[in-house]
Amino acid sequence: MNIGIIGLGLIGGSMAIDLRRRKFADRIVGVDADKVNAAAAVKIGLVDETVTEEECVAQSDIIIVAVPVSAAVKVVCRVLDQFQKEGWTDKVVMDVCSTKEQIAQATMYHACRKQYVATHPMAGTEYSGPWAALPNLFDAKVCIIADQQESSPKAVAEIVKLYDALNMRVSYMSVSSHDVHTAYVSHLSHVISFALANTVLDKEKDEKHIFDLASGGFSSTARLAKSNADMWTPIFMQNRENIVKVTDAFIQKVQEFRDSIEDLDETAIRSFIDEANRIKRIIK
Amino acid sequence: MNIGIIGLGLIGGSMAIDLRRRKFADRIVGVDADKVNAAAAVKIGLVDETVTEEECVAQSDIIIVAVPVSAAVKVVCRVLDQFQKEGWTDKVVMDVCSTKEQIAQATMYHACRKQYVATHPMAGTEYSGPWAALPNLFDAKVCIIADQQESSPKAVAEIVKLYDALNMRVSYMSVSSHDVHTAYVSHLSHVISFALANTVLDKEKDEKHIFDLASGGFSSTARLAKSNADMWTPIFMQNRENIVKVTDAFIQKVQEFRDSIEDLDETAIRSFIDEANRIKRIIK
């Protein structure tokens, strides 16, 4: 199988590593708008060669679009245009974006819509670029396929095989539920981490030694604040409505807890913590 | 050296493990109000024996008070009373609490104040109880000694030796700066995690499958929400003033970021993230 990867960052690069060593991909070509990243991806050995986007589509059976979501909308449409123009009915394109609504809308009436599969592998780290790529990144994690009824069964089956090679558990969901759910379990965590980091960094302007005290608790809560703006700005913009709603719900919870503390309401503080402790059954 | 540990949980238990195997402690006796915990601490081998609080003080050169901060205020005072009553001038008592103001006030005028050292080893996990105790928990972390001028140089020197055996880096600070700093770098992270967990758990009541999507990002931001109410309720109450102030600063940051998202203000979103990224130089 020939695989083309457009966007050679953390996700595209990590897919390249595992698809190759697990023999799903015979040959991998890549595209990256950033010349340094493109050269690094070849040097690290993620891809066999970097080519133009058109060549990449021409040479590949499956095209993986792994660029930030604002760019992905355009790239997926261009790839489908090329499928149509060249009469390629067997090729499949997939994206890996964290918000799905806008690509869904942009591709909705495309003649080749059936050859596009909307996916979101729920895996990642706070690092970016081809040097952030890791083996086994996707193992045992969940991958969402969104609105699978819009893709041809054959295209879906091929992409499921690809995620099978990545050891992911595939789950199906509508585009709109996907975007609500990810607002809760991923995007909100990022809003929080960025805000926490800025709160403490602001304080640091007055007190130089504040970070001497930063222990493991802070590092884990603020870890996502290292995530980069190129990836996250378009996510926040595209999933705006859900994220605003979820953030408001969160602010209300923080405010409620803050008020219990201000009131020295021991019962309320304790029951808020006890309720939160139920998260133990979800995360290990 | 004979060590007495009052409170055989995560911190007390982890200190026992390393103080013994690094030969700082020849014998360790312990006290725990919870009978199951006390019995487990002996069975696991954290302490040689469990005894009454009075016997513990009588038998030990250094007494470590490792109970939640509301109880610690009373225990430290009782230990100092016993020092005074028995005329023991060589023994030293230390606490390990995450807020220092109230113990400082309660002990301020005690005749044996010089024999008490206020400490806060900045290490831990979200688990509790003697079974949560770990070797090497304190290695390379920071321990604060607060208001060291209130303790005798000899007492401080002994406690520094103890933290040296735990491989901690000792830092000195006033009680009031300590409580402000920990509000920023530890207590706020806990407020946030509890509120995040409750926000998502509330949503789960309507949508059963929301946690299928919970990926690594969520787990790290919500990890601290597993922390227990017995330890954290008194911390929030004792450090109320600082925590309320810091939480307000955080809410304002979240609100600012939320507004930029609602306004689709790309420049503002991007610069908020770029600023937050400066946290990279602090946390690894």
Residue of A nearest to B192 (CA): A254
| Rounded CA separation B261/B148 (Å) | 47
pLDDT at B259 over 80: yes
Total structural domains in chain A?
A: 2
Please tell me whether residues B249 and B126 are part of one structural domain: no
Give me A249's structure tokens: 């719900």
Instruction: Write down the pLDDT at residue B210.
Output: 72
Q: Among A141, A144, A198, whose Cβ lies nearest the Cβ of B272?
A: A198
Question: B149: which DSSP letter?
Answer: G
Instruction: Write down the pLDDT at residue A262.
Output: 98
Please tell me whether residues A195 and A148 are part of one structural domain: no
pLDDT at B257 over 80: yes
Q: Which ranges in chain A belong to alpha helices (H)?
A: 10-21, 35-44, 53-59, 69-86, 101-107, 153-165, 175-182, 188-204, 216-222, 229-238, 240-262, 266-277
Measured at the CA of A124, the angle between CA A123 and CA A125, to 5 degrees, comes to 145
Question: Domain end: B146, B173, B200, which one?
Answer: B173
Domain span at residue A81 reads 2-173
Please tell me whether residues B13 and B137 are part of one structural domain: yes
Mean pLDDT of chain A: 95
Are the Cβ atoms of B244 and A262 closer than 8 angstroms? yes
Could you read off the pLDDT of B152-184 as tens digits, one per residue? Answer: 999 999 999 999 999 999 999 999 999 999 999
What mean pLDDT do residues B103-132 have? 95
Are the Cβ atoms of A197 and B279 closer than 8 angstroms? yes
- Output the CA–CA distances (angstroms, integers) from residue A12 to A15, A41, A65, in the order listed: 5, 10, 8
Instruction: Write down the pLDDT at residue B205.
Output: 79
| Residue B30 backbone dihedrals phi, psi, to 5 degrees | -135, 160
How many other CB atoms are found less than 10 A from the CB of residue B111?
10
Are the Cβ atoms of A199 and B246 closer than 8 angstroms? yes
Please tell me whether residues A255 and A198 are part of one structural domain: yes
Are the Cβ atoms of B277 and A228 closer than 8 angstroms? yes
Please tell me whether residues B161 and B195 are part of one structural domain: no
Q: Please list every residue in chain A whose beta carbon sits closer than 8 Å to the beta carbon of residue B210.
A: 181, 184-185
Q: Please list every residue in chain A whose beta carbon sits closer than 8 Å to the beta carbon of residue B228.
A: 273, 277
| Rounded CA separation B284/B277 (Å) | 12
Kindly give the parts of chain A with pLDDT less than 70: 213, 216
| Rounded CA separation A162/A115 (Å) | 15
Please tell me whether residues B186 and B147 are part of one structural domain: no
Distance from CA of A46 to the nearest CA of B (A): 24
pLDDT at B207 over 80: no
Instruction: Write down the pLDDT at residue B41.
Output: 96
Please tell me whether residues B121 and B197 are part of one structural domain: no
Which CATH number characterizes residue B184's domain?
1.10.3660.10
Instruction: Write down the pLDDT at residue A256.
Output: 97
Question: B185: which DSSP letter?
Answer: I
Pair A89, A70: CB distance under 8 Å: no
Mean pLDDT of chain B: 95
User: Is B83 in the A-facing interface, judged by CB distances under 8 Å?
Assistant: no
Q: Please list every residue in chain B whose beta carbon sits closer than 8 Å to the beta carbon of residue A175.
A: none
Could you read off the pLDDT of B51-97 as tens digits, one per residue? Answer: 999 999 999 999 999 999 999 999 999 999 999 999 999 999 999 99
Beta bridge partners of residue B50, listed in sequence order:
B30
| Rounded CA separation A183/B265 (Å) | 19
Which CATH number characterizes residue B168's domain?
3.40.50.720
Please tell me whether residues B80 and B143 are part of one structural domain: yes
Beta bridge partners of residue A242, listed in sequence order:
none
Question: Domain end: A151, A173, A195, which one?
Answer: A173
pLDDT at B211 over 80: no
Residues of B numbered 232-261 whose beta carbons fall under 8 angstroms of chain A's beta carbons: which are they? 232-233, 236-237, 240, 243-244, 246-251, 253-255, 257-258, 261
Residues of A numbered 111-150 whose beta carbons fall under 8 angstroms of chain B's beta carbons: which are they? 122-125, 141-142, 144
Mapped onto helix, strand or coil, the DSSP state of residue A22 is coil
Q: Among A124, A274, A280, whose Cβ lies nearest the Cβ of B216?
A: A124
Question: Domain end: A173, A205, A236, which one?
Answer: A173
Instruction: Write down the pLDDT at residue A244.
Output: 98
Exposed, middle or buried, A273 (CB in 10 Å: 0-12/13-18/19+)? buried
Please tell me whether residues A104 and A221 are part of one structural domain: no
Q: What is the DSSP string of A30-83?
A: EE-SSHHHHHHHHHHTS-SEE--HHHHHHH-SEEEE-S-HHHHHHHHHHHHHHH
Residue of A nearest to B181 (CA): A210
Please tell me whether residues A165 and A212 are part of one structural domain: no
Please tell me whether residues B134 and B217 are part of one structural domain: no
Residue of A nearest to B230 (CA): A270
Please tell me whether residues A124 and A168 are part of one structural domain: yes
What mean pLDDT do residues B4-31 have? 97
